[in-house]
Structure 1
């Protein structure tokens, strides 16, 4: 089991790195802040955050040629897999709208600036706030008389969609469902369902950013992430909302369908996978977990790549190879797209410096924004896999 504090510490470290990369960037002058909207009808279906507060989202309206096009972005932020961690989460913005910021800054794929986001800038762009702890899949209530927790991620997803439909989503001509990290994982579980809400002639596609979490053994040969996800699915009653074709195949181990690698082949909607082969979250929470490295022998390598031993680099290369091997069948997909680069990062579509600018990461001289746009609009086939570290010199590495 991955302790909640370890997830928070890793996200905190990434936040510091992101701040360092972005505080002096001139493009931030063009960033737009968007007000939150709480879903007042959510109480009717108990579509509530962990603490019972209303869920919410941020909507920036499209215009011109994009006024009938929609981009929905699931917010990320880890998970909780037991009552203790979920109770703690319920007292934060990840489990309660009471603690959420009322304004969200739209950058990267959410930007309304044509120069910074050439393909989606004038679409209706929505950020779905995350407050359930199970990638919008749970449907259960815990109540022991003194403590009550709402594991209602699935209902939150449905309530937000129902709120957006009369605002123009029901008439969408083009739509893209995306998400980052735990939000990227959510796209795997809601992609096909999303298409059912939209017109039959709409062009609907999905994209996961840093959401392709591997079912991989850690360095002590234990399935730490597998056990963690099992706890999430079991506690929050998420199994009923996983892909039924997938769960049928796994029978008693249906929780494994929470992993993208098992759910992907059952998704019929065109899908794009954006991920780094050396995802820093997975580095610390899938491959080298606190429990697998109790003496902290990997600490230096985690914080400074130049200190990694040859054996540690070999282990990282093995993790990259595992991801590429799992994704090989997806290479045959006619409608699928892929951008697997060799940066040490986590989430690249929401950050302007990694999404689209002069020195953004590239594969074959193609930026992430160009790759996603080419795929969505059918301008060219995009299935890019980067060479192994350290060959890529375009990365904004978050580990120096």
Structure 2
């Protein structure tokens, strides 16, 4: 054990609903005396009025407190929008930045040369003191040197711009109501800072103007995992590796590598959320996404971070191993895939469909629905492996596990996202019965996520990743 110890963060107590209910009973007994009956009746009447007032005030306070408690912890939002009506007050995780001396020793640098970092929250129960959830944060990619230099000035390229604490939702939530199966686990969220899904593996730094940029995502991942092991994770009996978006892609690419770093006897499984990005043409019949990711692959020298068997099998097309559909067959770790067949990030940035479904022209609408059919064909390979599961919805959403509402509310074949995943993870359902694929009709066929197709959802989610002009064009 190193000098660093996670139990010293002061976050040992994570009880969310630990209020004691105290009932005080008073007995008032009237005794005889020398007072005249009329005076006694007057005193009794005055006393009754006081107690009536006290009772009314107490009832009002209890009603107010009950409503506060309900809406703070139990009210489930009707909206499927991430960020709208999210449930509960999650206990904050604290930022841990690795020592600069360790970064210098291992060469593990963010884009700007700062040390790797992660957010950590201790397990809140003795039962799960040795259960760990390690989450790989997402945040897109940087596609060329100039873009990476710009990203180095943000929290997705540097550990110098992060808040001291942060709250997490969905599968990372510390609220039992939201996340009953994992709320009391140790949680470590590894901050994403290389712009290549933790796959950058370039030895020499890159000079962009007056900036020095590092492409060391693999070393960042290794350094944080090693640090967590020295700080208590080596005593784990089960570890779940998860991630969303670019972090979800990282799970496909690096789950087996992380498994090699942890003790052999530890139960290890993975879950990739919104990370199954296809190698497919856009609506103009161009290989835009393929060429974009090949650029990332070459710039950051990703090849050295990928599975050797996959690289050997692909021959001269080794870049294919940077795409989940080609990398998946070589993954030995049991993995559960969560994704939407109508992912809005894919629609906008891979298919290049700049319209809101329902307002698209006939060609664009048909192309988006054709994408769904292609997505189902590419993910069908999961059915050939007896260890894995999947949850493929028809919601217009990007990520189901990172936010409260889709984690709790979205359903496929009657099962919530969280329930379907937990049943697979804990063996309550066999992998063969853990392949959930949504309705086979067109857009908006799933009533549990119907609101994701409305303009309000666009305003609160999709427009957050677009410029004002782009959002206006989509909505009109």
What interval of TM-score do these two structures reach, taking the shorter chain for normalisation?
Answer: 0.7 to 0.9
Q: 1:48, 1:264 → 2: CA distance?
A: 28
Give runs of aligned pairs for residues 356-395 of structure 1, distance below 5 A. Answer: 356=408, 360-380=409-429, 381-387=433-439, 388=441, 389-395=443-449
Q: Which residue of 1 aligns with 2:221?
A: 157
Q: Which residue of 1 aligns with 2:342?
A: 278
Q: Which residue of 2 aligns with 1:86?
A: 148
Matched, 1:190 2:251: no
Kindly indicate whether the alpha-carbon contact (under 8 Å) linking 2:205 and 2:215 is maintained by their aligned counterparts in 1.
Answer: yes
Q: Which residue of 2 aligns with 1:397?
A: 452
Matched, 1:34 2:93: yes
Q: Which residue of 1 aligns with 2:402?
A: 350
Matched, 1:319 2:366: no
Q: 1:26, 1:325 → 2: CA distance?
A: 34
Q: 1:138 to 1:244 in 2, by over 3 A?
A: same
Q: 1:256, 1:320 → 2: CA distance?
A: 21
Q: Secondary structure at the match of 1:272?
A: strand
Matched, 1:136 2:198: yes
Deviations, residues 174-207 of structure 1 (Å, cap 9, x unaligned): 1110000000000011111122223323221111
Q: Secondary structure at the match of 1:211?
A: coil
Q: 1:53 to 1:173 in 2, by over 3 A?
A: same
Q: 1:131, 1:101 → 2: CA distance?
A: 15
Kindly indicate whether the alpha-carbon contact (under 8 Å) linking 2:133 and 2:186 is maintained by their aligned counterparts in 1.
Answer: yes
Kindly indicate whether the alpha-carbon contact (under 8 Å) linking 2:144 and 2:296 is maintained by their aligned counterparts in 1.
Answer: yes
Kindly indicate whether the alpha-carbon contact (under 8 Å) linking 2:155 and 2:162 is maintained by their aligned counterparts in 1.
Answer: yes
**Which structure: larger Rg?**
2
CA deviation after TM superposition for structure 1 residue 376, in Å: 0.4
Question: Which of these residues, 320, 335, 354, is aligned with residue 387 of structure 2?
Answer: 335
Q: Which residue of 2 aligns with 1:12?
A: none
Q: 2:379, 2:142 → 1: CA distance?
A: 27
Q: 2:83, 2:158 → 1: CA distance?
A: 28
Q: 1:143 to 1:317 in 2, by over 3 A?
A: closer
Question: Which of these residues, 13, 20, 25, is aligned with residue 85 of structure 2?
Answer: 25
CA deviation after TM superposition for structure 1 residue 152, in Å: 0.5
CA deviation after TM superposition for structure 1 residue 224, in Å: 0.8
Q: Secondary structure at the match of 1:319?
A: helix
Question: Which of these residues, 74, 92, 96, is aligned with residue 158 of structure 2?
Answer: 96
Give the unaligned 5+ runs of structure 2: 1-78, 456-476
CA deviation after TM superposition for structure 1 residue 211, in Å: 0.3
Q: Secondary structure at the match of 1:66?
A: coil
Q: 2:365, 2:316 → 1: CA distance?
A: 36
CA deviation after TM superposition for structure 1 residue 339, in Å: 0.3
Q: 1:399 to 1:82 in 2, by over 3 A?
A: farther
Q: 1:218, 1:203 → 2: CA distance?
A: 40
Kindly indicate whether the alpha-carbon contact (under 8 Å) linking 2:86 and 2:405 is maintained by their aligned counterparts in 1.
Answer: no
CA deviation after TM superposition for structure 1 residue 123, in Å: 1.1
Kindly indicate whether the alpha-carbon contact (under 8 Å) linking 1:32 and 1:107 is maintained by their aligned counterparts in 2.
Answer: no
Q: Which residue of 2 aligns with 1:11?
A: none
Q: 2:358, 2:210 → 1: CA distance?
A: 51
Give runs of aligned pairs for residues 302-313 of structure 1, distance below 5 A. Answer: 302=356, 305-313=357-365
Q: Which residue of 1 aligns with 2:230?
A: 166
Kindly indicate whether the alpha-carbon contact (under 8 Å) linking 1:170 and 1:197 is maintained by their aligned counterparts in 2.
Answer: no
CA deviation after TM superposition for structure 1 residue 220, in Å: 1.0
Q: Secondary structure at the match of 1:36?
A: strand
Question: Which of these residues, 78, 92, 108, is aligned with residue 47 of structure 1?
Answer: 108
Kindly indicate whether the alpha-carbon contact (under 8 Å) linking 2:86 and 2:404 is maintained by their aligned counterparts in 1.
Answer: no
Deviates more, 1:61-70 or 1:261-270: 61-70
Kindly indicate whether the alpha-carbon contact (under 8 Å) linking 2:339 and 2:393 is maintained by their aligned counterparts in 1.
Answer: yes
Q: 1:108, 1:23 → 2: CA distance?
A: 11
Question: Which of these residues, 286, 294, 303, is aligned with residue 230 of structure 1?
Answer: 294
Q: 1:398, 1:207 → 2: CA distance?
A: 26
Q: Secondary structure at the match of 1:265?
A: helix
Q: Which residue of 2 aligns with 1:10?
A: none
CA deviation after TM superposition for structure 1 residue 46, in Å: 1.5
Q: 1:20 to 1:241 in 2, by over 3 A?
A: same
Deviations, residues 263-303 of structure 1 (Å, cap 9, x unaligned): 00000110111000011111011112xxxxxxxxx54x33x
Give the unaligned 5+ runs of structure 1: 1-18, 289-297
Q: Which residue of 2 aligns with 1:202?
A: 266
Q: 1:130, 1:251 → 2: CA distance?
A: 30
Q: 2:134, 2:381 → 1: CA distance?
A: 27
Q: 1:331 to 1:157 in 2, by over 3 A?
A: same
Deviations, residues 230-252 of structure 1 (Å, cap 9, x unaligned): 11111111111111111112222
Q: 1:223 to 1:22 in 2, by over 3 A?
A: closer
CA deviation after TM superposition for structure 1 residue 172, in Å: 1.5
